[in-house]
Structure formats: C-alpha cells, structure tokens
Chain A
C-alpha cells in the first residue's frame, strides 16, 4: 500500500471514530479536566525547562514518557546527576499506581487485539481513569467503552503535550509564583471525590492521604507505594471484618 493511501485510510478511520457518540461524550466530559491539565502541563514544562536538560531533550522526554508525575519526580534527580537506576526506580514507584488502573480497564478492553490494548495503555492517566470509572462503574455488554476512553484520553494527551511543550519553550517567562499547578492539584482532588462511592473508599482515601504525608521522607517517592499498600490492606481487613460480623456476602 502506498504511503498516501495509507494516510488517507488513517484519516478516514480517525474521522469515523470522532463521529461516534461515546467518543464525543468522552471529549465533552474531559473538557473541565483539560483546564487543570493545561495549567499543570504549563507548570511541568517550566520545571523541565529550569532543570537545564535543554529544550530538545525535555520535549523528547515529555512526548515518549507522557507521565507528568514521573517526569516531575525525575527532574531533581537528573539535575543532581543521580545514577540512572535511581531515576528509573523513582519512575517505577510513581508509576505503580498505573497498574491498578490497568487492572480496572481489563474487562473493558480485553476484547481488543494486543497492539490496540498497548496503544490505549499509553494514553492512560489519572484524570481519564477517574472520568472513565465515574461514567462506567461496571462493564456493560454492547457498549463501546474504548470510544469514551479515546475521547477523553486523546483530548488530555493533546492538551498536555501542547501546554508542556509551551512551558518548556517559554520557560522562565512563566513565573512559578502564579501558583498555576494548583489548578492541576484541584483537578485531582475533585476526581478523588468522584471515587468516594462508599464508606470503604472513604477509608481508602483517608488512610492513603495520611500515609503519603507521613511517609513523605522516604526516598524514591516510595511514600505513594506505601500509601496505596496501607490503604489496600486496611480496606481488605475492614471488608473481612464486616463480612465476619454480618455473615458472608454472596
């Protein structure tokens, strides 16, 4: 197949997907988040610019890693000339939460061929995960779940890349004192609220929040891992205690 006909086919596919109702719904519901994402992307871009790694490297990293929190966590290590394995270990600790997202997406995406599953994986993020689970708490037959995911995930990807690259290039022209990154934090806070469906998820959030602060001094951003482990352990124990009290659930 020639390059031109391949490009034409790709364009036709893209326009067909963008007309699907669930794709549009994903884009629409991703819009409010785009505000937080863009503020956060700008701040991350400025941080990358100030790390002194140079514009081309910063853009390269942003495009291929596409994980804001991992990039931010890696910056001081790279600037300080830490060993590469320390940067990788930190990236792993910050990215472990993606495994939980991956676990939850499996029933929705399992029917797709593996290359597509990997492509969708690349687009996973905190905001589109929370939106997706809010919209589809359970797998439903006959629903094109990936369409919704693509809508919010592609919007997030586009907005994030545009703003982080803007931040990288504009660099010092954007003072950090604007407190812009706070909009990103607020977006995550709002999303955390959407996940509080029952008393156990409240317990999970409170335990994790406390543990993440208490364990903040740990190296390699292990505090996130410790917080998730603590919250999961407490919730499983609480579920079991409740089941023992009220008799076994179905």
Chain B
C-alpha cells in the first residue's frame, strides 16, 4: 500500500473503532432492546476476553499446537493456579510470564 492508502486506511480504522466503542453511549435516549439481547449482552464481555486470549495460548501460525511441550500452556496454567490461590492480577502476570520464559529459555520449549 502507498502512504496515502495507509493514511486513509488508518483513518477508517479509527472511525470504525470509535463507532463500536461509543455505539451505546452515543444516543441520548435509552435504546429499545429485546430482553434476550439485554440478557445476552451481559455475558458478551467475558466471552470476548476468553475468545481473544485462548487462540494466543494454544495456536501457532493458525494451527492448534500438536505438542504438550509448549511453554505458553504451562505459563498460563501456572498463572491460573496463582490467580486461584491469591487473586492478585500483578502476580498472576509475573508468575505466568516467568514460568513461560523459564521453560522457553531453560528447556528450549
């Protein structure tokens, strides 16, 4: 793409992202919404987070990992265990990343 095309692309992306973010905040009046949608949207953020995270943990180059010796999986499990134990966000991140790095550089996984 030329610089001009990238410029136009970036502006479009900014508009799309902002419209999605402000969608329910733009109207001044309450939006009429069917009840099932209102109920369903309660779970959407949790689903969105899980949907973004999971492929990052178990996929490589668009394929499911085919070995159990993947540092990311064990890092994530260590982080999850730590979260279940202490409920600390900071230490969950540090513990998970630490285990992942240790396995990757220590064992070459």
Contact = CB atoms under 8 A, between A and B. Distances in A.
A117 to B, nearest CB: 4
Contacts of B107: none
B16 to A, nearest CB: 5
Q: Bin the interface of chain A by size.
A: 35 or more
B22 interface: yes
A217 B92 contact: no
Given A186-B92, A188-B52, A57 B6 contact: yes
Contacts of B5: 84
| Interface of B, helix, strand, loop or mixed by DSSP | helix
| Interface of A, helix, strand, loop or mixed by DSSP | helix
Q: Bin the interface of chain B by size.
A: 35 or more
A223 B100 contact: no
A53 B6 contact: yes
A92 B16 contact: yes
A216 B65 CA distance: 13
Contacts of B10: 57, 60-61, 64-65
B79 A186 contact: yes
A120 B80 CA distance: 31
A181 to B, nearest CB: 8
Contacts of B79: 186, 189-190
A27 interface: no
A47 B83 CA distance: 30
Contacts of B71: 179
Contact of B25 (A66, A121, A129, A196): A121
A71 B16 CA distance: 12
A87 B24 CA distance: 24
Given A100-B41, A109-B25, A57 B3 contact: yes
Contacts of B23: 98-99, 102-103
Nearest to A113: B28
A220 interface: no
A135 B83 CA distance: 17
Interface in A92-110: 92, 95-106, 109-110
A124 interface: yes
Contacts of B52: 69, 97, 126, 188, 212, 224
Contact of A120 (B16, B25, B56, B62): B25
A213 B46 contact: no
A146 to B, nearest CB: 11
A213 B54 contact: yes
A229 B102 CA distance: 37
Contact of A185 (B11, B40, B57): B57
Contacts of A70: 13, 17
Contacts of B28: 114
Contacts of A228: 44, 47-48, 51
Nearest to A32: B90
9 contacts: A32-B88, A84-B9, A88-B12, A91-B16, A117-B25, A124-B21, A179-B101, A190-B83, A196-B46
Given A117-B25, A213-B55, 7 more contacts: A32-B93, A81-B1, A84-B12, A185-B53, A186-B97, A209-B54, A224-B51
